[in-house]
Amino acid sequence: MSQVLYRKYRPKTFSEMVGQEYVKRVLKNAIREGNVSHAYIFSGPRGTGKTSCARILAKSLNCLNPHDGEPCNKCENCREIDSGSFMDVIEMDAASNRGIDEIRKIRDRVSYLPAKGKVKVYIIDEFHMLTREAFNALLKTLEEPPPHVLFILATTNLEKVPETILSRCQIFDFKLIPDDLIFNHLKSISKREKINITNDALKLIAEKASGSLRDSLAILEQIQRYSSEQITQEHVREILGVVPKELVRDFIDSLLKKDFESLFKIAERLVKENKNLETFILESIENTLQSLKEKDGLYEKYGEKLVELANRLTNLLKDVKYTEEKVVVFEVGALNVSKELSENRAVEDNVIDVENTQEVTKNRVTKPKEEEDEKIEKLKNYLLREGDLDLWVALVYAKISKQDKNIILEYDKNHNLHFEIVREKLEELRMLYKMVNNEDINFSPIYLEEEISNLSEESVKILKKVLSIFPGKVRIEKRGDQDGKEI
């Protein structure tokens, strides 16, 4: 089995590390001068070289033939450390070994001299996940460290580490790796691996890696297996689900203009193309911040309103990230962001422009009688004004008709989530309608894989009867009979 790229091209010397120049310089000087601390904390985002640097430091201290602070990578000690079989370099993942028992074992063993090397090195990854008791046990060892022991503690969440630990260690902050350095590294590896890929594609990979060299190599390997032909930027966009920048700009523009029609179209396109909504929102935030920095056309048009937009999109990202109903939350959240931005610009208090709302619903609603249509619009305007946007969105996507004392809300297979929202809030919807229009009426949401107009006359009669008996509990799906015919 072949090695994955990020393991195959893991740096073996400080000079091979990409970025982190300050860290490399300080550590090499400390090794040359014999002034290495007893404990280091390597803090920074994932994929920036913390664990690799820890291994190189351990190797340099135990190398039999070191040169200028670098390991030789040829001696027996270096080879064993690279293979993970060196007895005096112990690696531990605190995410899965976070209890006090593991740290006690380390505390009991540190008094023993190295079995083979010059220094016994403990590398503890994600050490911020240790329990409070484990931290206390580790603290005792850090307070009175034996001269032959070095601790290298790596973390992605330095803020979770107790101050008592921080004060006893030298802390190195690993920065995100610049896109240009990632690009050059990917280009070099592509040549060695004979990967036929364009520079534009590599630049996009570097950009989407967000400063993580490991992530960039994982993406490159994934794309390498996608096609044996030349890989272009379009291939990368397709594999990563990257949304065109033009669509991101349209989304931002629609939010600020309160263009609900455009927001609905963008949401439908994202769902249809199976784009990642979290990624799309994040790209929108990044694009907004970029406009603020560069003061481009978007900034000239909207000015510091972009600051408020970025803040509201950040909240929307959190909402979408931690929900199962991502599509509905995205739609409702985007409409709410647009609505609130518009309200803040309004001259009169509590003035809500529903012109776009009417335009959206014009082509979505199968209109009943004109009077009933006005009542539905009145209800929708109330929902929009009072902020109950999930129900409002559900009504917008419904095809509305009236049968006797029932208002039928028909949902096709693309809007099952909206059908469920109405079904759960059926009584609330009925009460709101009564309050707004002073009329009592039933709502009957139905889920259909085929429009009512396409059903036979007999089926429609049966459906009306069922609706009168079981409002809000009708779900009609296509199925095949024993002969394979749809019924």
CA atoms of 442 and 434, how far apart (whole Å): 10
pLDDT in the model for residue 191: 92
Using pLDDT thresholds of 50, 70 and 90, give the confidence band for residue 450.
Answer: low
pLDDT in the model for residue 183: 95
Q: Which residue has the higher pLDDT, 423 or 130?
A: 130
Contact 381, 357 (CB under 8 A): yes
What is the DSSP pairing of strand 39-43 with strand 406-411? unpaired
**154-189 confidence digits (pLDDT tens):** 999 999 999 999 999 999 999 999 999 999 999 999
Amino acid (one-letter) located at 111 = S
Using pLDDT thresholds of 50, 70 and 90, give the confidence band for residue 143.
Answer: confident
DSSP 231: B
Contacts of 39 (CB under 8 A, 6+ apart): 142, 145, 150, 151, 152, 153, 168, 169, 170
Q: Which residue has the higher pLDDT, 478 or 296?
A: 296
Mean pLDDT on 62-79: 92
CA atoms of 348 and 356, how far apart (whole Å): 18
Q: Does pLDDT of 449 surpass 70?
A: no
CA atoms of 317 and 436, how far apart (whole Å): 34
Mean pLDDT on 304-313: 86
**What are the C-alpha distances in Å from 305 to residues 198, 317, 457?**
38, 18, 55
Q: What are the φ/ψ torsions at residue 252 (nearest 5 degrees)?
A: -60, -45
In percent, the amount of the chain with pLDDT more than 90 equals 32
Q: Does pLDDT of 44 surpass 90?
A: yes
**389-398 confidence digits (pLDDT tens):** 677 777 777 8
pLDDT in the model for residue 171: 94
Reported residue count of the chain is 487
pLDDT in the model for residue 165: 92
pLDDT in the model for residue 482: 45
**181-218 confidence digits (pLDDT tens):** 999 999 999 999 898 999 999 999 998 888 999 999 99
> Among 75-79, 295-299, 360-364, which stretch is predicted with the lowest mean pLDDT?
360-364
CA atoms of 469 and 394, how far apart (whole Å): 23
CA atoms of 139 and 153, how far apart (whole Å): 12
**94-125 confidence digits (pLDDT tens):** 888 888 888 888 888 888 899 888 999 999 99
**What are the C-alpha distances in Å from 28 to residues 42, 61, 355, 406?**
15, 10, 67, 79
Q: Does pLDDT of 226 surpass 90?
A: no
pLDDT in the model for residue 457: 65
Q: Which residue has the higher pLDDT, 46 or 380?
A: 46
